[in-house]
Homo-oligomer: A and B are copies of this chain.
Amino acid sequence: MSEQLAILDLVYDDLKRVEQKMRAMGGEAYGPLAEAFLHLLGSGGKRLRPALALVAYRFFYESASEKTIALAAAVETLHNATLVHDDLIDGALLRRGGTTLNAIWGRGATVLAGDYLFARSAGFAAESENVRVVQLFAETLRIICDGELRQLFSTGQWRQPVETYYKRISAKTASLFAAATRSAAILADAPADMEQALYDYGYHLGMAFQIVDDILDFTGDEVVLGKPVGSDLRQGIITLPFFYYLQAHPSPDALLATLEDYKQNNNHGNAGGAQNAGSASRPNGRQDPMAGVIASVRASEAIQHAAAEARDFAAQAKADLLILPDGECRQAMEELADFVVARQI
């Protein structure tokens, strides 16, 4: 992601305060955990979610209040907590090209480190001293967990209505983007219509963001992604490009038979066993049939179809902003919406 994004420039100083607040977690935590946090916080990520909260607040006030800094830290810490548990569940050893906590620690410690981050994020949210913010925050966490569970239990179910996909990404991604912008509007005491507009922007941006993420899982560079191409499909997670690919496929039954065969051989597809499914294991040098499917999806029109969908969401996000005053905040949010659908990582 480019460092030149206007949104990151605009809230640069505030983001530094958020970063400091998060790093201070290390000081209060048990030794090995503190080290793990520094590793986690230092492992990249562009702080998009806290930046969204900060710029939403900036529509109303020049500089972020301490409560807004705490809110932004809550959002980013919650995001990191879900990543720690996601990596554990997926058995992922790499993220953003670096080792995951899961790769360094065992299962138990990783579960507890994620729990600790959930606790800290709740603590940061409570520092906002705003009941509505705390309630929105708790409800968002609930929705994210619900979405992750739905994803886990639908693993390896190749034929799903596309609505389940939208529901899933709405829960696991868009909800937190929307909570970030809405919470900031609440803390700024924004008029109801502007609070709603900022919520809608966050929601639509989050939808676009996740669809692009799911496209990049097929089209991205393994080195840049830091994980194998097509890892979602290998894990039995159905994303938008695959929905479109399956829809247009001349012999869907044969395709699904190939996937089912892969699933059986790799022992996926139940909520209990969805573990360590990210790699393309080929025992005895056998041909990997999944690689062929992934290459076909990557080369198909399904990618463009999904990208158009992402652009629609980004356009909706920009339209949501129209009732907000024009100026550097709105322009930065518009640029971000364009960037999200143009990005290559």
Contacts and interface: CB of A to CB of B under 8 A. Distances in A.
B149 A116 contact: yes
A223 interface: no
A260 interface: no
Interface in A175-216: none
Given A106-B272, A106-B274, A271-B109, A129 B126 contact: no
A149 B107 contact: no
B106 A30 contact: no
Interface stretch (A54-62, A130-138, A244-252, A313-321): A130-138
Interface stretch (A117-125, A293-301, A326-334): A117-125
Contact of A29 (B113, B118, B146): B146
Interface string A143-172: 011101110110000000000000000000
A153 B110 CA distance: 12
Nearest to A133: B126
Given A126-B138, A131-B126, A142-B119, A149 B112 contact: yes
A32 B106 contact: no
A85 B111 contact: yes
Interface residues of A, number: 51
Nearest to A124: B138
Contact of A122 (B32, B138, B273): B138
A107 B270 CA distance: 11
A90 B131 CA distance: 36
21 contacts: A30-B146, A30-B153, A32-B271, A33-B146, A89-B108, A106-B270, A106-B271, A106-B274, A106-B275, A107-B272, A108-B152, A108-B271, A108-B275, A109-B272, A112-B149, A113-B149, A116-B146, A116-B149, A118-B118, A126-B138, A134-B134
Q: A-side binding surface: helix, strand, loop or mixed?
A: helix
A105 interface: yes
B272 A105 contact: yes
Given A30-B149, A108-B274, A109-B153, 13 more contacts: A33-B146, A88-B107, A88-B108, A106-B275, A107-B275, A111-B111, A115-B148, A116-B145, A116-B149, A118-B118, A119-B138, A126-B131, A131-B134
Contacts of A129: 131
A9 interface: no
A119 B141 contact: yes
A171 to B, nearest CB: 10
Contacts of A135: 123, 126-127
Contacts of A33: 146, 149
Contacts of A273: 106
A139 interface: yes
A141 B139 CA distance: 17
